[in-house]
Every structure is written in C-alpha cells, then in structure tokens.
Structure 1
C-alpha cells in the first residue's frame, strides 16, 4: 500500500557527531550507522518530537586481528546504592578467531552453552523537534540527548517509545543493553524534552514495551514482548505458532508492572509474515474501521536470511477492556520502501525492514513514524480509510 505523504525525514547525513556524547572520548573514528526507530510525541507547543536512535559505530571495528566495541563505564565506582553520575566511553577488543561477524549489527562470541554477543555500535537518543506534520526539522536538541548513565546500559539505549498521558505527563520506555541484563528502562518528562531516569521496569530480554496513551479503569496499561531462545510447543493443529508474542501488563503508577495472565497478540500458523512479532507504536485511543478503541501498530517478521522482512500490522482493542480485539488488518499496513533508501544506497547495510515506533492522530489521518532499514527515520501520513479488516 502506498501513501502520498511518505518520506525519509532524518538520515545519517543530518547528524553532527562533533556534538555526540561520545565525541573526543577515545582515539578512533566513528560514524552514524543509523539514525532510526524514532519515538514520537506531540510537544506542548504543537510541534512533533522524534526521539531518534543514533547508532554510532567505529569506522574500523576490525583492526590488528581483533574486533572492537564501544562501552560506557563509570569514571569512578559509585557508592553502594548510588547511581554513577559521570562516565566515559572506552573500547574493548576480542580476537577475531573468536567472533562471528556475519550480522552487520553485532558479533557473537563463545558463551559456554548460550548466546553471547557484542554490538558493532553504541546507541544514544537524540531529540529532534519537527513541524506539526512531521515533515521538516525545527531544531535538533543535542543538549538534551539521552545517553548511558549506568552499568545497566553500558552498551547503549535503543528504540524509545513515548506516551503522552494527560497534558503534562510523558513516559518514555527504552531498551538498555549491558552484560548485566537486557532490560526496559523508563524515563519521565513534563514537557517531552527534559527527561528524568526512573529506573528499570522490566527485566532481562523484555523489549518493545509500549505504554497506552491514557488510563484504563484507573490503571496504566502496557504491551510487552519477552524474548528467549526456548519456546514450548502448542499442540498439533493449533492456530498458534510458538515464539515471541505481544503480552499485556498493568500498573497503578506507571513504574511497577504486573503481567496479565492471558495471552494477547500471538503469531498464527497461517501467517508466515508474523512468525516473529513485537510492539510498534504506543496504543492510542481513536476510531478506525467504524469502531472506537486502542489502535496498536506492531511489527511482524517473515523469516528471510539473517534478519527477515519487517512489516507493520494493526490491531484495534476494546476501549474499556484491552484484552478484547475488536478488529485487525490481515494485510500489512506498511511495507519496507526500497525506493526511499535508494539515494542512500552507499550507506545501506540492511534491507527489508520497516519498524514503526510512533503514531499521532490528526483526525482524518495518522502520522506514523518508523525506522527504515535500520538507517533513517520515515514519516508516513496514513488516511483512516486505509484501516480495513
């Protein structure tokens, strides 16, 4: 499906690494591997904010027979019970004969019976203020970048999702990466630009946490997506496919979360395009397909080579009981768009990926923010009549 307003609005060329949190901290050149997967919200002044993931990578990760990675570490060990207030970025290295470097985003290492990997880049988050239609940059707020500040995110922060709840409460979930855990961390803001770290809210390998943009029954609700390498089989003939799925959780305060007992959105055996799935944009309360409810945009992955093909699908949940599905699209809402990245062919290291991370309701249409090819930020205006079950 094509849309008249659909383009890349932020590319690696826009980013000034001389203003990066990593600038000047080690003796090696870096570049922007990707500026993508933007969390999106509406600022108090009516402009849009894209919280862009900047994947900053070493220009030469492999040299002298070793492969290197960037890591944040505390400048001084914090006192017991305290958070490190200052840190620095350092380089680690491993012998090439130990590393599998086939995936351009990471390399794997011997793990004694389980998978161990390191990243070819370190990600931090850059707030970019856009015009209300999401098409043009108003300001890039380097001074408000969100970067690692503790050992739990020493390999970076990834994939912000921003939910505006009421007039002055913004909650942002991020994926924090470290050898300690692969966790979901929470930030809060009163204005969408200045962010306060609230702590870890979901523990190891629970990604794509999306907080609903509003309370339901006086509670905060969220979609989550646990990961893992082991899944138990459904019985023969089941409509469901074993693997990662989207779950629900509730909270009295947005900080302490309890998983819901019943399953939520699961991969089906008759839909190979959703063999793997995860949350996309935080659910918003709106009306599509003649029904009012919580609109969820999520990604489904069709197996192909190493990464697979990422597409965006949609589901509408009941306004008062989000466990109930009112409608859903059987075909993708958004597909990867190679024509958009063709001018950036020399920068491409990945294909077949659109990863939706934000949505705003404009009345007759939606503004949808996505990462394209793990390289750039894509903004699409999608009319409401495109949502057909």
Structure 2
C-alpha cells in the first residue's frame, strides 16, 4: 500500500445534528446515528468538494416487549413496524432476517438518508453541512431508505445514483443536478438488486457508460482451469441519455480464481479518465471482499480500463490500494459495530494526487490523498 500524504476521518456520527434530521420530531422513538459513511463525492462549481454522506439513523432501542422494530417511510410519515423476536435472526447488527419462507427476507433497524457535506478543495476541512438540501425517502420504492450515493460530472451536469430500498424492489435510482446541491429525482434506472451503479465521468463514442453489479443467489461455474471465479462481479451498461440502460455484451471486472481476497467485488468510485504509466484510460477503483466472519474484509483495488472499450483492462493490481484502518477508528471505538471495512465511493483530481472518499467501518467518512505515481 502506498504512503499517503493525507489519510483521515473527516466526518463521523458525532458530526451529525439529529435535531435537523428529516426524521426529527416525526417518529415516536429515540434514534441515533449508526453510521455517517459511504460518501459520494464531486467537485462543486466553486471549487470545493461535496460529499453526499449516507446517514443511517437507527432506533436506540429496536428491541422491546419481545419484538424488534424497523423504521419505514409511508406517504410522508415515518412509522415503526414490529416483528416477534421468535421470527427473526439478529446476528448481523445492520439488519435482521426473517426466518422461514423459502428465500431471504430482511428488514432494517435504521433508515438511511443523504446529507450534503461541503469540504474545502483538498477535502480536509468541513466548510458547511447543508441540512436544508438533505435527500430523504419521498416515494414508496424508497420506504426503507436512500443509500450509497455515487456522483459523476458529465458534460456540465451532475448525475447521482443511489440505492433505494423497499419491499417493492432493491433498485438503483438516479438524481440529476446543475450544481450538485439541488437535485431532481429522475426515478428508477436499474431494477431489483442491482447495486453499486457508477456512471463514467465522460462519454464513450457519444454514449453514457456505467459499471453495475447485479446480485443473485445463483451463478454458473467457470471451467475448472479458468482464471475467473463465479460470483458477484462488475458488469457494464450503456445509455443514450443516462435513463435507459442496456447491459453490455462483454463482462467487466471479474473475481480472479487465484485469490479469495476478491471473492466478491463491486464498483467503488465512478471511473475517471487518467494516465497510469503512460497508458490513458478509465481509472476504476473497486472493492473486493474476502470472506471472513459475518461481513467479510473489504479492501479497495484499482483497474485501468481501455478508453474506447471499457470491457478491456489495460492494467490492474492485486495489491490493495486501500486497506481498512483500525487506527483511524480508535477514537470511535464505542460506536463500532463492524470491522475490516473500507468502501470507496468517490474520487476527485487533486493535481499530483487523487482525493479518494471512502466509508470506513460502515461508520465514518474517510478522505485519502493517493499520489498518482503510486498506481503501478
């Protein structure tokens, strides 16, 4: 891993003012910030950086009277739903699973909304927190929350993908903006259980491109001698307008059979044009997950994709670019509920370095300055 000139947590649960939350005064239960993390990031017209922080607002006491409760948006109100403890599995602190039924069904004891946090040009200092521009559920397909923003700037317009969560579907939704502060919800662009959609920061042959990550419980095996491992991988899609997407015929980045460190993978930061050791292409930062415990170990890796055909990899590294950093979270030990997770969600050009935004331990926002020369 490279030596970083700057690597710090810049926004944590302690920095969120819940009295200004979209839920404030609208739910009959005490809540707290489970995490302020996984920030989409872009550069504003004024030169500052904007993080769109996922705030997971959780019930302080989800279990009471032998029932576990979840927060749900419903027609402009926030409600509490209750299930008997005998019907659920609470082994994962982020969610609870329904027992029986023949397939996986889950619910959350938190509801996520997006908080715009403005940083200085280098991403080191919070300049403003725009509570008045927060993005919260506003339609039935977002009733369990709006999660994990990714922001791309293409031809003078901002495009933000989010994961919208509901019993109806687990979908990708698109917001657009002229200034990255006032957003218009364009609706669903990818349907059920397609996460980590990242729109490239620029067009290829006049089309929008995106990385996607369809999920499922069934994957077909590669031949025994293949270099790839079956499982969740990064796919590609193209669009004429960023609203209507067609899956690309060739695969994107796939788990490699020689390592378990990337047994599961997904997109991280939106691909940006970059030059790495004389080769120009789309720099893609993505996460690889090594199976371990309940959640796994999340690390950030990089791949340089061909400028004209992003299904072709020009260069990649099996060495993590970013590892989880327990030292950064030591001041927040009393808030920690998972370990070994760094989840990169944004990138901006800082001149001689990349400014990289990540969620650390599903808890806080981490900014890292990575020298461009470190890629190799």
Deviations 1:144-171 (A, max 9, x none): 001101110100010000001123x000
The correspondence of residues 186-201 of structure 1 with structure 2, limited to 5 A, is: 186-201=174-189
- Residue equivalent to 1:116: 105
Residue from 239, 253, 267 that aligns with 1:265: 253
Superposed displacement of residue 259, structure 1: 0.1
Alignment match, 1:41: 42
Q: How does 1:341-380 map to 2 (within 5 A)?
A: 341-380=329-368
| Other structure's SS at 1:312 match | strand
Q: Contact 2:89–2:99 at 8 Å: present in 1 too?
A: no
1:289 deviates by: 2.6
Runs of 4+ residues over 4 Å off in structure 1? none
Counterpart contact for 2:345–2:357, Cα < 8 Å: yes
1 CA distance for matches of 2:223 and 2:254?
15
Aligned-partner Cα distance in 1 for 2:137–2:28? 20
Mapped to 2, the partners of 1:10 and 1:271 lie a distance apart of: 33
Partner residue in 2 for 1:63: 64
1:311 to partner: Cα distance: 0.1
Deviations 1:78-137 (A, max 9, x none): xxxxxxxxx010000000011100000000003521000001210000000100000001
Q: Name the CA distance, whole Å, in 2 between partners of 1:124 and 1:175.
A: 11
User: 1:275 deviation in Å?
Assistant: 0.2
Partner deviation per Cα, 1:307-355 (whole Å, 9 max, x = no partner): 0000000000111221211111120000000000001000000000000
Alignment of 1:1-389 (within 5 A): 1=1, 2-74=3-75, 87-167=76-156, 169-388=157-376
Which residue is equivalent to 1:80? Answer: none
1:370 and 1:288 map into 2 onto residues whose CA distance is 22
Distance in structure 1 (CA, Å) of the matches to 2:48 and 2:31: 31
Between the aligned partners of 1:65 and 1:302, the Cα distance in structure 2 is 35
Between the aligned partners of 2:66 and 2:192, the Cα distance in structure 1 is 32
Q: TM-score w.r.t. structure 2 length? A: 0.99
Q: Is the 8 A contact 2:117 2:130 kept in 1?
A: yes
**Aligned partners of 1:218, 1:63: CA distance in 2, in Å?**
56
Contact 1:38 1:51 in 2 (8 A): yes
In structure 1, how many angstroms separate the alpha carbons of the residues matched to 2:354 and 2:132? 30
**In 1, Cα distance between equivalents of 2:158 and 2:208:** 13
Separation in 2 of the partners of 1:111 and 1:200?
A: 30
Partner secondary structure for residue 273 of structure 1: coil
Q: Can you give the 5+ residue segments of structure 2 that lack an aligned partner in the other structure? A: none
SS of 1:274's equivalent in the other structure is coil
TM-score by length of 1: 0.95
In terms of mean alpha carbon deviation, does 302-311 or 323-332 score higher? 323-332
Structure 2 CA distance for aligned equivalents of residues 313 and 110 of structure 1: 36
Give the Cα separation in 1 of the matches to 2:150 and 2:187.
15
C-alpha contact 1:289 1:327 (8 A) present in aligned 2: no
1:77 alignment partner in structure 2: none
Determine the C-alpha separation between the residues in 2 that align with 1:343 and 1:290: 41
How far 1:303 moved relative to its partner? 0.4
Structure 1 segments unaligned to the other structure (5+ residues)? 75-86
Number of aligned residue pairs: 375
Q: C-alpha offsets along residues 219-245 of structure 1, whole Å, 9 cap, x if unaligned?
A: 000000000111111122221111000
Please give the alpha-carbon distance, in whole angstroms, between the structure 1 residues aligned to 2:173 and 2:85. 32
Bigger mean CA deviation after superposition, 282-291 or 295-304: 282-291
Provide the aligned C-alpha RMSD in A. Answer: 0.8
| 3-state SS, counterpart of residue 50 of structure 2 | strand
